[in-house]
Amino acid sequence: HTLEAGKFTWQAPSNIALVKYWGKEDIQIPKNASISFTLDHCATTTTFSFTPRDQAQNEIEFDIYFEGKKAENFKPKISTFFDRIVEYVPFIRNYSYTIDTSNSFPHSSGIASSASGMAALALGIMSIERKLNPGLTDDYFNKKASFLARLGSGSASRSIEGKLIMWGEHPRFIDSSDLYGIKAPIEVAPLFNTYHDCILLVDKGQKQVSSSVGHGLMHDHPFAASRFRQAEEHLTRLAKVLSTGDVEQFIQIVESEALSLHAMMMSSQPYFILMRPHTLEVIQKIWQFRKDTGSSVCFTLDAGANVHVLFPDNEQEQVYEFIKNELVGYCENGQYIRDKVGNGAKMR
Ligand code: PMV
């Protein structure tokens, strides 16, 4: 049957990878398994309104608004998304949509919104499926939401649940899948369940390299095979570290992952440097602070110049002191975002 008109609002979080996804096969099949912290503050909120159509159509009709204004520039990406998912959710052809979306983080902050954005959309669609079939289990709901989100943006598969999400097949984890993210099957030490992520907005400019171009650069990359092997080993080691609470090893793996991601971009053809001078200054300061104080603070990076500063809850005061005194000067307009590990998407 067809539903009456209705709407659902979801708030889906952003995430920060500890072991990075960089390199994929067709339709978002990752070349290596990745793992991320789900964030709490950085999120996309999307209201997904649907109205029945007289006749089912293959081409999905929708209007999209970003922060209250019509956003034609978002249309192609979302159309591609609908085209990819329609075979798994054929009922979407029976409706037309209005999508109203906004982010909790500043527009053009250099923070990618594709993970949280695609996750929020996927959840809206799954809410329709659940309304059509109220018997769906939460497990099915979350897995399929992650599966759909992945088809929009790979890392979006890690933006449905909290707090630590693994995506991609890995020999050590029998439940891991290339098709959707799962809660990391690890007994996580309490320390890592309350981690902080302070995002320093070093460069708020548009990304120089879109992630689809970036993933493409891993085909024919001279170091691709070793990189995928390294990621697999890092995940094996990190899983252990996350359960033992070994912060020193955590730092070593997480920082190495960030630098490897950037090393891949620097050694691809064409090559890119996505770090800025301030990115390097911040890294130096973090290393010096760690040396001087014995702090457990460390950094990670996405495919851009901004720095994610990671630290345990019990160091919150001293690290924010350090950030205010020594790092804010490297941020554009002194801007940074206080975030922490979160529990996943919420219906609003
Ligand atoms: O989801 P995509 O295709 O935008 O890829 C994102 C990849 C990184 O953010 C650089 C790393 C990751 O695992 O999140």
The reply to whether 228 and 99 lie within a common domain is no
CATH number for the domain that contains residue 217: 3.30.70.890
Give the pLDDT band of residue 212 (cuts 50, 70, 90).
confident
CATH number for the domain that contains residue 60: 3.30.230.10
The reply to whether 157 and 43 lie within a common domain is yes
The reply to whether 232 and 112 lie within a common domain is no
Distance from the CA of 345 to the center of ligand 1, in angstroms? 18
The reply to whether 235 and 175 lie within a common domain is no
Give the domain range for residue 237.
Answer: 196-340
Report, as an integer, the average pLDDT of 204-229: 91
Distance from the CA of 22 to the center of ligand 1, in angstroms? 6
State the pLDDT at residue 131.
96
The answer to whether the complex's ipTM is over 0.90 is yes
Residue 124 domain-assigned (yes or no):
yes
Query: CA nearest 3: which of 144, 87, 125, 86?
Result: 125
Give the pLDDT band of residue 107 (cuts 50, 70, 90).
confident
> What does pLDDT average to over the chain?
96
Distance from the CA of 138 to the center of ligand 1, in angstroms? 26
Which of 168, 188, 208 finishes a domain? 188
Residue 71 domain-assigned (yes or no):
yes
Least confidently predicted of 98-107, 134-143, 161-170, 336-345: 98-107
Q: 245 with 191: CB under 8 angstroms? A: yes
The reply to whether 231 and 144 lie within a common domain is no
Residue 348 domain-assigned (yes or no):
no
Q: Is the pTM for the entire model greater than 0.90? A: yes
What DSSP character marks residue 325? I
Which of 159, 188, 217 finishes a domain? 188
Chain centroid to Cα 311, Å, comes to 19
Atom of ligand 1 nearest to the CA of 34: 13
Ligand 1 pocket: which of 14, 18, 22 to mutate (most atoms <8 Å of CB)?
Answer: 22
Residue 1 domain-assigned (yes or no):
no
The reply to whether 143 and 244 lie within a common domain is no
Q: 253 with 18: CB under 8 angstroms? A: yes
Q: Give me the number of domains the chain comprises.
A: 2
Report whether pLDDT(150) > 80. yes
Instruction: Output the six-digit token pair for 122.
Output: 């996927």
The reply to whether 184 and 225 lie within a common domain is no
Ligand 1 pocket: which of 14, 15, 18, 20 to mutate (most atoms <8 Å of CB)?
Answer: 20
Residue with the two structure tokens 């800025």:
276
Encode pLDDT of 236-265 as tens digits.
999 999 999 999 999 999 999 999 999 999
The reply to whether 171 and 32 lie within a common domain is yes
Residue 330 domain-assigned (yes or no):
yes
- Residues near ligand 1 (Cβ within 6 A): 17, 20-22, 34, 112, 114-115, 153-155, 211, 215, 302-303
Q: Which residues contact 10 (CB under 8 A, 6 or more apart)?
A: 45, 46, 48, 120, 123, 124, 127, 345, 346, 347, 348
CA distance 214 to 223: 14
The reply to whether 11 and 128 lie within a common domain is yes
- Residue 244 phi/psi, 5° resolution? -85, -20
The reply to whether 144 and 255 lie within a common domain is no
State the pLDDT at residue 188.
97
CA distance 101 to 118: 11
- State which amino acid sits at residue 89: V
Which of 157, 188, 219 finishes a domain? 188
Encode pLDDT of 289-311 as tens digits.
999 999 999 999 999 999 999 99
Chain centroid to Cα 334, Å, comes to 24
Q: Which residues contact 51 (CB under 8 A, 6 or more apart)?
A: 5, 95, 96, 97
Residue 257 domain-assigned (yes or no):
yes
For 82, other C-beta atoms within 10 Å of its C-beta total 21
Residues pairing with 189 in the sheet: none
Report whether pLDDT(106) > 90. no
Instruction: Output the six-digit token pair for 178.
Output: 């290339």
Distance from the CA of 51 to the center of ligand 1, in angstroms? 33
Query: CA nearest 166: which of 151, 150, 153, 182?
Result: 182
Instruction: Output the six-digit token pair for 236.
Output: 């094996």
The reply to whether 136 and 279 lie within a common domain is no
Is the dihedral angle over the CA atoms 63, 100, 141, 144 positive or is it negative?
positive
